[in-house]
Structure 1
Amino acid sequence: MTRTAPLSPFPILDDAELAGKRVLIRVDLNVPMDGDKIADATRIDRILPNLQEISAKGAKVIILSHLGRPKGREERYSLRPVVGELSARLGRPVAFAADCVGPEAEKAVEALKNGEYLLLENTRFHAGEEKNDEAFLDRLAALGDVYVNDAFSCAHRAHASTEGLARRLPSFAGRSMQVELEILTNLLSHPVRPVMAIVGGAKVSTKLELLGNLMRRVDILVIGGGMANTFLAAQGKKIGKSLCEMDLADVARKIMADAATEDCEIVLPVDAVVAQKFAAGAPSRVVPIDEVGDEDMILDIGPTSAARVEMLIEKARTLVWNGPFGAFEISPFDAGTNAIAKVAARFTKSGQLESIAGGGDTIAALNKSDAAKDFTYISTAGGAFLEWLEGKELPGVEALRVNSRRR
């Protein structure tokens, strides 16, 4: 039941003439590494169709990305180990240049034939990347004729390769960027109601803007994880030794009052799984939320709370999810998140629900429960996904929009 609309504010590949052109394509190859091995190739898989399409259209495919947060040139952050995996998944050779600007990059680009692939070294090896420096941009832009941004996950950064190039070259959204923008735009602008949001994670302070924006847009806002403890404490509930931001109790009370004004139902746990030690196999028990002991830590929602959320999901037609309900990394504190994820996946698979999830912990939790594959869309973006849901403008997206107006 995924609904997509024409992406008129953003130029897409359908609008581009690529044959014979040098195409600089920004992707996100910031993949988790285990030594020199790729631990998770999800981000590589996402960009393959886009790379293959550009190659098939007869362009010279010049791939830009960062890896990690190097301070200058640090070989442990080199993109060289990614070449083999990228080549294997494309089924074609991928050349590599040991720099992203300068003589080595220029020589490698010059050697490219139409349809061939080249991966340039980590853009963050140069300070000019994160500074969006004009001199660095000059050198980067000189390598291409066209720019394609297929890295939504980096679109909240105003860096040279994510925002600056869109101001220098004819620019287009890549296919995975296009899909992400279409889905998220529809989610916020034209959702099928009722709309339900699940927001979890550790801290209210990191998601204040998200909560404020969502309460104006959704019908039901479920708060879980450590965040829920702050709201419970704000209601006068005892939470023992649970993670909590007591200094934000007044903020939590205001959020609940504002939600009532916006006709948004806020859902908090009514029971919890508690333990006196956060460790695998630690003795735990389920208690009503009013019976949390002084030495207890709330580490997951209880079965009654999970059943209530599952019932709400059954009635919802759109779900957006960011953040787990409990300490999902350790059993038995993963039970609430797992149960709810499976219900959301089942209703999505049956066509009853449109479900969108994003954020690193959320993806890990949904993968752990084997539910991610059945969600309508899983965003690999973390910060960009959150900032979009918060209603913020993303520099990488806005640069494409401005470029579209110029054309």
Structure 2
Amino acid sequence: MIKVNELNIPTLDDLNFTNSKVMVRVDINSPVDVKNGKLLDDSRIRAHVDTIRELVNKGNSVVLISHQGRPGDNDFTDLSEHSRLLQKYLDLEVEFVDDVMGPYARERIKNMKSGSVILLDNIRFVSEELIEASPLQHSRSFLVKRLSPLFQGYVNDAFATSHRSQASLVGFPLVLRSSAGRVMEREVSALAKVFNEEDSPKIFIMGGGKVLDSLRIIENLVKRRLADRILTGGLIAELFAVAKGLDLGKENLQVLEKVGVLGLVTRARKLLLSGAPVEIPVDFKVEREGKVYEEPANKVNGVIKDIGSATVGIYSSFIRDAKTIVMRGPMGIIEDERFRESSKILLRNSMESPGYLIIGGGHMISLLGGDVNVSSSKMHVSTGGGALLLFLAGEKLPALEALDISAREVLKK
């Protein structure tokens, strides 16, 4: 059982499904080439192999459910190609059923043999899955009422969609013995460190261009006193620099105004005045007339593209003393090779430090090259996306709450 944010999340170790029929909610939603309909990346498919194989090896018959895209979008397709890739990585037959809850799907599920695997079609072909509602409401949906009697258990392995309150994520745990899968378990176990006082000091490295999202996260970290230091880079650093009264120059103010950041200065200033442990760069790398210069933060002449070397040194000293490091977003414009170095150095120092590192996906993953070797027991790369963002911002994740309800109400029956 994993305890996180006052929730108790059962794992496969707690329920130990054997010789049962188990529904597994996976997230194999993948980018699609709109020209030919082929999947461009199968990393999410590969991520669930451990959970599925473990269940199969214990004699369970496994039915997988997932979504792909949204109705009306170019990537809204069936799951036939996903099933072929799953079969490749599992190295066992995966039957694709082009139905979700109709008579054909239910008949195929009823006739499954021990150790077999079925992938039902895109769960969003069912209109109920597009509705956001409470777990109780979804437990009474046609989807849950038609499918749940066919199963002895439910496993949610789809952390990346755990911020959705949809039938396949929150309805089944109220009527079936339910647990987190191994992907979900790894995500939740890693993020539990954010709330564990014993895993301090905690350093949060916040960068990238999603300023409002980052500001919401920082506000929650400060409110709940979860962070010992918040190291800023990217546009969020520029926002706090302006809030502190630093003159970043006309060009950078125009950039901030263009992306709608200047309206957030008051919120950032309020955090600084409250004593929030927000660290602002002491220098920046700027581009001026096509050349790169380093400028002190109080005398910027050029367009800011990265944090400077002095700031990298200061941030690295904080990282060396941390027990938990959460890195979300790069420090500079990493699409340009000239402004990747600071992010790479901080990432490398975080990986080599004694602390546990959580990488918030996105652009930071692209910096993970083969030049640094690190034990997976010391690092977690989150696949969470929106779920991770909302988790760090203090929002509730409905799928986790549903598993907690299941632990309290269903497992005791």
| Both proteins in one fold, TM over 0.5 | yes
Give the match's secondary structure for 1:241: helix
1:338–1:369: 8 Å Cα contact kept in structure 2? no
**Partner residue in 2 for 1:182:** 189
> Scaled by the length of structure 1, what TM-score is found?
0.87
1:373-384 equivalences in 2 (<5 Å): 376-384=379-387
**Partner residue in 2 for 1:301:** 307
Please state if 1:110 is matched with 2:113. Answer: no
1:2-401 equivalences in 2 (<5 Å): 9-16=8-15, 18-34=17-33, 35-71=36-72, 77-131=77-131, 134-215=141-222, 216-239=225-248, 240-242=250-252, 243-244=255-256, 245-258=261-274, 260=275, 265-275=277-287, 282-293=290-301, 296-347=302-353, 352-366=354-368, 376-401=379-404
TM superposition shift of 1:381: 0.5
- Alignment partners' CA distance in 2, 1:368 and 1:385: 25
- Alignment partners' CA distance in 2, 1:221 and 1:78: 43
- Alignment partners' CA distance in 2, 1:38 and 1:309: 39
1:150–1:175: 8 Å Cα contact kept in structure 2? yes
- Alignment partners' CA distance in 2, 1:305 and 1:113: 60
Give the match's secondary structure for 1:81: helix
TM superposition shift of 1:311: 1.7
Which residues of structure 1 form unaligned runs of 5+? none
Which residues of structure 2 form unaligned runs of 5+? 133-137
> Scaled by the length of structure 2, what TM-score is found?
0.86
- Alignment partners' CA distance in 1, 2:38 and 2:316: 39
User: CA RMSD of the aligned region, Å?
Assistant: 2.6
TM superposition shift of 1:104: 3.3
Q: CA offsets, 1:125-148, max 9 Å, x none?
A: 222102155233323435533211
2:206–2:328: 8 Å Cα contact kept in structure 1? yes
1:64–1:119: 8 Å Cα contact kept in structure 2? yes
1:141–1:169: 8 Å Cα contact kept in structure 2? yes
Question: What amino acid is the match of 2:170?
Answer: E
Q: CA offsets, 1:34-72, max 9 Å, x none?
A: 455443333223211111111111111111111222339
- Alignment partners' CA distance in 1, 2:365 and 2:375: 10
TM superposition shift of 1:81: 1.3
Question: What amino acid is the match of 1:107?
Answer: E
1:154–1:381: 8 Å Cα contact kept in structure 2? yes
Q: CA offsets, 1:91-136, max 9 Å, x none?
A: 1111101122213322332342111111111112222102155233
- Alignment partners' CA distance in 1, 2:16 and 2:345: 48
Question: What amino acid is the match of 1:153?
Answer: A
User: How many residues of Structure 1 are paired with residues of Structure 2 in the alignment?
Assistant: 389
- Alignment partners' CA distance in 2, 1:171 and 1:145: 9
TM superposition shift of 1:370: 5.9
- Alignment partners' CA distance in 2, 1:211 and 1:322: 12
Give the match's secondary structure for 1:398: helix
Q: CA offsets, 1:179-230, max 9 Å, x none?
A: 2222222331234322111111224322333102223111111111111111
Residue identity over aligned pairs, in percent, reads 32
**Using a 3 Å threshold, how does the CA distance of structure 1 residues 127 and 284 change in structure 2: closer, same or farther?**
farther
2:283–2:309: 8 Å Cα contact kept in structure 1? yes
**Using a 3 Å threshold, how does the CA distance of structure 1 residues 237 and 6 change in structure 2: closer, same or farther?**
closer
**Partner residue in 1 for 2:135:** none
Question: What amino acid is the match of 1:58?
Answer: G
